[in-house]
Amino acid sequence: MKLKGSQILLKMLKEEGVDTIFGYPGGAVIDIYDALMEDKDLNHILVRHEQGAIHAADGYARSSGKVGVCLVTSGPGATNTVTGIASAYMDSIPVVVFTGQVPTQLIGNDAFQEVDIVGITRSCTKHNYLVNNVDDLARIIKEAFHIARSGRPGPVLVDLPKDVVNALTQFRMPGEVRLKSYNPTYKPNIKQLRKVVDLIKKAEKPVIFSGGGVSLSNAHKELTELAQKLRTPVTSTLMGLGGFPGTEPLWLGMLGMHGTFRANMAVSECDLLVSVGVRFDDRVTGKIDEFAPHAKIIQIDIDPTSIQKNIPVHVPVVGDCKISLGLLNELLDKEDLEDMGEKRKPWLQQIEQWRKTTPLAYTQSDVIKPQYVIETLYDLTEGEAVIVTEVGQNQMWSAQYYHVKEPGHFITSGGLGAMGFGLPAAIGAQVGAPGKLVVDIAGDGSIQMNIQELATAVQYKLPVKAIILNNGFLGMVRQWQELFYDRRYSWTKFSHAPDFVKLAQAYGATGLRATKPEEVSEVLSNGIKTEGPVVMDFIVEPEESVYPMVPAGAPIKKMLLV
C-alpha cells in the first residue's frame, strides 16, 4: 500500500491511540491539514496561538492519562511552542509535538519560515527528530510515542520537512520499538527495598514525601496503602498534589516555599524521609544544608539521573513508583507491624499540635480575600473539580486551599512556572475529561497571556470555567517587592486592565463579577451551573500575600507566617 507522508502520519497517530490533535495550520503543514479533512477519526482543535496548542496538549495528557499531540507549522509556529515544551519537560508530561519544516533541500539556507527547531529544543525535549526520509517516518512516529510515554515521561518533537510529508512510499507497519541506548528500569532492586523496610521499622518520626512521579505512574493507591499501613504522615510537592487524598487525616499539606507550617516542620524534624517520585527542586528544599537534617533519606524514582542530583540520599531505589511501592507493601505485609499505631502516637500528636497552633489562615473582611474564593469553590464542588492554575499567587492559594483528592485533578506548570499556562491547559483538560467540571484559577496578569483561547473554548463548546483573582497587580512579584524592596512596586501594578466581563462576552462566553464577599458564593454557583465557557472576575484584596513563605536561601523551617 503506497501512502503519502501526511497519510502515514495520520495512520500512525491512530495506531498509537490518538483521538485529538491541538494545532494551528501553516504553509509547511498544509498537506497534513488537507489529509485531515478526509479523516473522520481524528478530532482537531483549532487553537488561536501555538503556545495555546502545546499547553492544551499538556493539559489533555494530564487529565486523560494519554499522550498529548500538538501540530504546528515551521518557523514562528514551531518557536511559539518552545515555552510549552519546556514546561512539559520540567513536569515530565508525555506530549508529541509535530512541527512543519521547509523542504530538505532548503534546510540551512535561511529559507522563509525556517528555524532549527531540533537544535532549539534539544535541551527541553526528552528526544527529538528531523525526518529526512519518508521511509523512516512510521518508525520515528512509533519511537516518539514510546519515548514520550515510557520511563520518566516527557515531550518528544518530530520535525517534518514539507517534501517528506508529500513524498509517496510503500507503507509498512513498523515492528516493536527497540532502542539499545534507552531501556528504563521499571522493577527495583529487591535488596534496596529490604533496606527501606529496615529503616522504616527503626524510624520513630517518619514522613512520606510524594511527588509528580506518583501521579504519572498511577501509584496513588499504593502510596495511600503504605501511609495507612505505617501510620505515617504524607506531604508532597506542588506537582504531587492529588497523589495522596487531601482529606486524609495523615495529610500534612504541601511542602516548601509556600508549604504548610506542619509539613515544613515535620520534614525538618523527621528521622526518616521516604521520598517517592520527587526530584528535590529548590522550591521544596530551601537551604539544602538544612533540609531534613536529622533524617535518613530514601529516594524512589524511575529516573536514575534524578537520584542524588540535588540531595544526598541513604537508600536510592531506581524503579517505577507504582511497581516499587507495590513490592514495598508486599515486603511490609510480611513484617510484624501491629504496634505501629502506638509507636506513631507521639509523632502524630506533635504534628497535630503544629496544625492547631499554626494552621493556614486568613481574615475575611469587607474586601474579598482570594483564599475565601478558593475555599468557597472547594465547598461548592465538594473537591470534585479538575483544578487548573495559572502561575503566581493564584497557583499557591489553589494548592493551599483546594484539597485535591486524586491524581489528574490538579494541573499546573510547576517546574517552569509558565504564565499563560492555565486557560489553554484547562481547554485540553476538558477535552481529555469531557464529563468533569474543569476550573482555571487565574490571576489578572497571567490570564491575559493566552486569553485569546477563550475563542477556542467557545468554538468547541468546552464548558471551562475561569476564575480570575483580580488584584490589579502581578501579585507574586509585588509580594516580594513588599517584603524585600520596601514596597517599591516597580512595574507590577496594572494601571490599565480590560473589563473581563465584557471581554468574555465579546468572545461569546459568559462573564460574571463579584466585588463583595457576600457575592462570592452566588457568582461561583451561577458560573458552575451556566452552560459553556464562563469567566468569573473577583475583585480581591490588592495587597494580600501568600503565607507561609520561606525566603529564598533560607531553611524551610524558617517561615514568614504573616
The CATH number of residue 265's host domain is 3.40.50.1220
- Write down the pLDDT at residue 562: 83
Which of 126, 162, 322, 369 is the catalytic position? 162
Which of 112, 173, 308, 353 is the catalytic position? 112
The answer to whether residue 476 is catalytic is: yes
Number of domains in the chain: 3
Both 344 and 482 in one domain: the answer is no
Q: Is residue 365, in this structure, part of any structural domain at all?
A: no
The answer to whether residue 112 is catalytic is: yes
Both 304 and 334 in one domain: the answer is yes
d(CA 360, CA 400): 8
Which of 476, 536, 549, 559 is the catalytic position? 476
Q: Assess contact for 439 and 523: CB atoms under 8 A.
A: no
Both 217 and 321 in one domain: the answer is yes
Q: Side-chain half-sphere of 261: how many Cα atoms within 13 Å?
A: 18
The answer to whether residue 384 is catalytic is: no
User: What's the CATH number where 408 sits?
Assistant: 3.40.50.970
d(CA 99, CA 119): 13
- Write down the pLDDT at residue 505: 98
Both 162 and 195 in one domain: the answer is no
The gap from C-alpha 334 to its chain's centroid, in whole angstroms, comes to 36
> How confident is the prediction along the chain (562 residues), in pLDDT tens digits per residue?
899 999 999 999 999 999 999 999 999 999 999 999 999 999 999 999 999 999 999 999 999 999 999 999 999 999 999 999 999 999 999 999 999 999 999 999 999 999 999 999 999 999 999 999 999 999 999 999 999 999 999 999 999 999 999 999 999 999 999 999 999 999 999 999 999 999 999 999 999 999 999 999 999 999 999 999 999 999 999 999 999 999 999 999 999 999 999 999 999 999 999 999 999 999 999 999 999 999 999 999 999 999 999 999 999 999 999 999 999 999 999 998 888 889 999 999 999 999 999 999 999 999 999 999 999 999 999 999 999 999 999 999 999 999 999 999 999 999 999 999 999 999 999 999 999 999 999 999 999 999 999 999 999 999 999 999 999 999 999 999 999 999 999 999 999 999 999 999 999 999 999 999 999 999 999 999 999 999 999 999 999 999 999 999 999 999 999 8
- Write down the pLDDT at residue 337: 86
Both 295 and 429 in one domain: the answer is no
d(CA 451, CA 502): 13
220: three-class secondary structure by DSSP: helix
Work out the angle between the directed axes of helices 220-230 and 340-357 (0-180°, nearest 10): 100
d(CA 396, CA 547): 9
Both 163 and 194 in one domain: the answer is no
Q: Is residue 524, in this structure, part of any structural domain at all?
A: yes
Both 123 and 233 in one domain: the answer is no
Work out the angle between the directed axes of helices 50-64 and 422-432 (0-180°, nearest 10): 40
Q: Is residue 362, in this structure, part of any structural domain at all?
A: no
The answer to whether residue 50 is catalytic is: yes
395: three-class secondary structure by DSSP: helix
The answer to whether residue 559 is catalytic is: no
Q: Is residue 251, in this structure, part of any structural domain at all?
A: yes
Q: Is residue 548, in this structure, part of any structural domain at all?
A: no
Q: Is residue 182, in this structure, part of any structural domain at all?
A: no
**Structural domain span for residue 279:** 190-357
Q: Is residue 556, in this structure, part of any structural domain at all?
A: no
Both 90 and 155 in one domain: the answer is yes
Both 533 and 434 in one domain: the answer is yes
Domain termination site, one of 328, 357, 386: 357
Both 335 and 394 in one domain: the answer is no
pTM score, whole prediction? 0.97
d(CA 359, CA 260): 7
Which of 4, 7, 22, 50 is the catalytic position? 50
Both 122 and 238 in one domain: the answer is no
Which of 113, 350, 452, 459 is the catalytic position? 113
Both 525 and 408 in one domain: the answer is yes
d(CA 418, CA 421): 6
Q: Is residue 260, in this structure, part of any structural domain at all?
A: yes
